[in-house]
Structure 1
Amino acid sequence: MERQAALRKFLFIAIFVCAFYNGVYGRRASHQEINMKLKTLNKPASKTIKSEDGDIIDCVDIYKQPAFDHPALRNHKIQMKPSVEFVSKKTNSPTDGSSKPITSQTWSKSGGCPVGTVPIRRVSKEDLRRASSLSQFGRKTPQVYDFRDKANQLKANNINGTAEKSYNPRPKNRSEAILIATGNYLGAQSDINTWNPQGVQCSDYSSAQIWLLAGYPEISESIEAGWMVNPAVFGDTRTRLFTYWTNDAYSKTGCINLLCSGFVQISTKVALGATIDPVSSISSTQYHMSISINLDPDSGNWWLTYNEFVLGYWPGTLFQDLRQNATTVQWGGEVYSPNVRMKPHTKTPMGSGDWAYNLYGKACFHTNIRIKDNSWQVKFPKVLVEFSDEKECYSTLLNRKMDKSEPMFYFGGPGQNPRCP
């Protein structure tokens, strides 16, 4: 009870501080602009569910969801299920312990959505008032870089290693600690250890996720899923399920979850952006979410599976290169902040907030890491490369065992610390 009370107090303070920060430093949109944006984002609901965490979940007609606002999807026919069954390959690690799967979201304790609808987290006026720009709400900043050439060099030499440097400039406002596989991929998956990192700054976000990428750096395409803490978008520091997509290196397309048109949801059980509970704690019970993304061989759509729920898909028509396959898969974490690579560095943590070398029960991890190649077989990647933008701020460690236990990729760190001033 004391721990829960302390957590509620922390959340209240964080919300207040973030609201103050954005009110002072963000550009306030007009009342009319906010109402127009809300009308676009919040579709009419046949049922509304008030979650105990304060979220409002609208049950929206599946044919009236935001996806169909996209010009390329005006005449899109919903694919209600994949054309093939996507099989995940899982092996728990007997030596490192076994984390428990998260089986529900907080909002589902208060009700469910009827068949023919999809649950969508309602966007509030307060959400939009925090935004410095309505056009940028729920969007990442442009990101043009490519370290895949370095990874491909290592792969050509059959080396498992660490990419020390990239040939192209890294984005100034993002810091990643990741595991990279390059090739031609039709799917990828992992179990992502789920935490609620404390101290995410108001203007920052911290995520643990999978990326599938293709295309040239300037117009790279990406589909992503995992968990994030994002006060600027959600108004709190809770851990939430998220997805993302872009087809132009985050320049003008894509967004988090359903905050723009694109992703087609079919599940009545899972809401994008909803709170994840429970989460892991240090030297105690560990929890994970299972994320799987697979290309449908018939439709060309990329399907997302969250735990055992087939959540929906990114239509192939959104992409050019990803219509065929992904050429890079990344597993790991990302911190966005205006104070990345700056002094003082952001205090926003990644993962659990602990260093990768502290391993199970302290550091955040991906396990059951798999790819699907042109053979359509689910397998562990032959060659993997670790990469960290700021090793003194956020670290990586691929923990391989000599026995038959499952490899685990640990990542994360505290951000600002004596080695990362």
Structure 2
Amino acid sequence: MLSVHLLALQGAAVPPKHHAALAAFGKGAQTDARVELPNKLFQFCVEQPELRREFFMGKRFLLGMLVVTLTVIVCGAVEGGSLSKQKSLRMNSLRKQAIKSIRSEDGDIIDCVSIYDQPAFDHPALWNHTIQLAPTYDPTIDEHSKKATAEREGKEEKNSMVVKQTWRKSGSCPEGTIPIRRIRKHVLLKAESVERYGRKKPMFSQENAQLPITRSSHTLLTNRSKAFLLTAGNNYNAAKGDIKVCNPRVEFDDEYSTSQVALLTGPYYNFEAIESGWAVNPGVYGDRQTRLFVYWTADASQKTGCFDLTCPGFVQTSNEIALGSAIYPISTPNGLPYEIIMFLFRDFKTDNWWVQYGESINIGYWPPELFGALSHTAETVQWGGEVYSTKIGRPPHTRTAMGSGRFPDFISGTSGWVKRMRVRDNSMVLMFPGWVEHYSDEYDCYDVDFIRDYLDDPELYYGGPGKNPRCP
């Protein structure tokens, strides 16, 4: 189709092989034309307005009204915003040229992409960004962290306790590349909005945004249910936690369940945040496996932010971790508890917010250019779980679970938990915070229990099944 159009513009004869196509357009085969149009013709319509204007002014055309009709059909469809074409372009923007591709046993395809060709640098604020390959200091060198690490290493640990990523069974990415989980076409096709794919729904309604800020503002969440421990009142530049790995039930494809460490700042209706942990999120990942994730937003997920590398922003430096990839083993009620250790910290020299996995692997960072106040400090730290569903807050409640799907249970330890929680504030010491508060939006559906008595290191237990006799 493109060659027909351009040959007509140049005043050339149309090759016989295109006669059928022209005849089809002459008969009004508009629907098929929209489906079969290649990307180059789409780009012609959108990206070369001067040629299009020249064409409509009557210059260099040979096919008269027939080709005019073709152009109107094509360009009108494109500029009108054909959803399938938008999704095709989004797919192309998300898929970078791979140096190597790895097919995982769970169906994922991991593309090893040059570290300099990753999605982050499609962000206008990062076009001239210089990659920081490693933090400028070791964030775990303070005495409190040394003591915790020594105690941990002094315990007898089994290899089976180590959580790994499934794709690593099938290969690895070479130095100088980063592993990017390939987004499947059927997942993007199911997305409610191309622009919002990979981004959470806003947490607060416009009506709630008009209400005054109070300490109970988090009760105004829209379609969210949280159970968490929080600390506030200082300027925080690091947060850490050991999160039990579970695989909670997620009832519908547009729902999700996550467990994470998060740092936040700003008003409740327009906050900035960074998070990391594990998620079961069919809408983003296309299945119900438990996956490692990072997330960011600069405006309470209204127009910015996303999971992993599904939008420009997070700069990855590690060739060992594929964000969004499945992790294993998973904790079971009668089996061993498995955990991931997530550490988010700010580099004081660059203001980059780094994500460290397992106390040794620096996955990458969020540059300060993405944020406002959060580029310098966080006001709040949260540990715990979150469930998203449109069936929250009214019956029938969703059956999507949080944590392990069981209510907090310190004795048996079968619920979700976060241990070795740490923050670093202006004291520059990594430690358990002096003031904390635990909270649940729906304690009959998902509850939280904070245990500090009789323990050297306080622990958080949380979770629940969602719908149950107490939560109809």
Structure 1 counterpart of 2:173: 113
Query: Sequence identity, in percent?
Result: 44
Compute the displacement of 1:167 (Å): 4.1
Structure 2 counterpart of 1:80: 133
User: Are the counterparts in 2 of residues 192 and 288 from structure 1 also a CA contact under 8 Å?
Assistant: yes
Structure 2 counterpart of 1:380: 432
| Residue correspondence of structure 1 range 358-369 to structure 2 within 5 A | 359-369=411-421
| Residue correspondence of structure 1 range 5-404 to structure 2 within 5 A | 30-87=83-140, 88=145, 89-90=148-149, 101-144=161-204, 150=215, 166-167=216-217, 170-182=220-232, 183-307=234-358, 308-357=360-409, 359-404=411-456
Give me the whole-angstrom Cα distance separating, in 1, the residues matched to 2:422 and 2:261.
11
Match of 2:293, SS state, is strand
1:148-182 deviation per Cα after TM superposition (whole angstroms, max 9, x unaligned)? 953xxxxxxxxxxxxxxx14651221100000000
User: Are the counterparts in 2 of residues 200 and 206 from structure 1 also a CA contact under 8 Å?
Assistant: no
User: Are the counterparts in 2 of residues 143 and 249 from structure 1 also a CA contact under 8 Å?
Assistant: yes
Structure 1 counterpart of 2:466: 415
User: Are the counterparts in 1 of residues 217 and 268 from structure 2 also a CA contact under 8 Å?
Assistant: no
Structure 2 counterpart of 1:10: none
* Structure possessing the higher radius of gyration over alpha carbons: 2
Compute the displacement of 1:200 (Å): 3.7
Give me the whole-angstrom Cα distance separating, in 2, the residues matched to 1:102 and 1:231.
25
Report the CA distance shift for 1:181/1:99 in structure 2 as closer, same or farther (over 3 A).
farther
Report the CA distance shift for 1:291/1:359 in structure 2 as closer, same or farther (over 3 A).
farther
Compute the displacement of 1:270 (Å): 0.2
Give me the whole-angstrom Cα distance separating, in 2, the residues matched to 1:347 and 1:110.
34
Compute the displacement of 1:357 (Å): 3.0
Letter aligned with residue 168 of structure 2? S
Compute the displacement of 1:106 (Å): 0.3
1:85-133 deviation per Cα after TM superposition (whole angstroms, max 9, x unaligned)? 11044555999x9997534200011000011100000011111111111
Unaligned runs of 5+ in 1: 1-28, 151-165
User: Are the counterparts in 1 of residues 237 and 345 from structure 2 also a CA contact under 8 Å?
Assistant: yes
Report the CA distance shift for 1:124/1:168 in structure 2 as closer, same or farther (over 3 A).
closer
Structure 2 counterpart of 1:25: none
Give me the whole-angstrom Cα distance separating, in 2, the residues matched to 1:359 and 1:57.
40
User: Are the counterparts in 2 of residues 101 and 290 from structure 1 also a CA contact under 8 Å?
Assistant: no
Give me the whole-angstrom Cα distance separating, in 2, the residues matched to 1:199 and 1:168.
23
Compute the displacement of 1:269 (Å): 0.2
| Count of matched residue positions in the alignment of Structure 1 and Structure 2 | 377
Give me the whole-angstrom Cα distance separating, in 2, the residues matched to 1:168 and 1:79.
35
Give me the whole-angstrom Cα distance separating, in 2, the residues matched to 1:302 and 1:55.
28
Report the CA distance shift for 1:360/1:289 in structure 2 as closer, same or farther (over 3 A).
farther
Give me the whole-angstrom Cα distance separating, in 1, the residues matched to 2:282 and 2:198.
11
1:32-87 deviation per Cα after TM superposition (whole angstroms, max 9, x unaligned)? 22221111001110000000000000000100100000010000000011011110
Compute the displacement of 1:317 (Å): 1.2
Report the CA distance shift for 1:173/1:200 in structure 2 as closer, same or farther (over 3 A).
same
User: Are the counterparts in 2 of residues 191 and 290 from structure 1 also a CA contact under 8 Å?
Assistant: yes
User: Are the counterparts in 2 of residues 370 and 378 from structure 1 also a CA contact under 8 Å?
Assistant: yes
Report the CA distance shift for 1:403/1:52 in structure 2 as closer, same or farther (over 3 A).
closer
Match of 2:164, SS state, is coil
Letter aligned with residue 304 of structure 1? V
Give me the whole-angstrom Cα distance separating, in 2, the residues matched to 1:407 and 1:203.
34
User: Are the counterparts in 2 of residues 100 and 286 from structure 1 also a CA contact under 8 Å?
Assistant: no
Structure 2 counterpart of 1:158: none
Compute the displacement of 1:284 (Å): 1.4
Give me the whole-angstrom Cα distance separating, in 2, the residues matched to 1:332 and 1:204.
17
Give me the whole-angstrom Cα distance separating, in 1, the residues matched to 2:455 and 2:226.
30
Match of 1:181, SS state, is strand
Report the CA distance shift for 1:77/1:134 in structure 2 as closer, same or farther (over 3 A).
same
Letter aligned with residue 320 of structure 1? G
Letter aligned with residue 56 of structure 1? I
Superposition TM-score, scaled by structure 2 size: 0.76
Give me the whole-angstrom Cα distance separating, in 1, the residues matched to 2:281 and 2:392.
16
Give me the whole-angstrom Cα distance separating, in 2, the residues matched to 1:149 and 1:137.
31
Report the CA distance shift for 1:106/1:282 in structure 2 as closer, same or farther (over 3 A).
same
Match of 1:219, SS state, is coil
Unaligned runs of 5+ in 2: 1-81
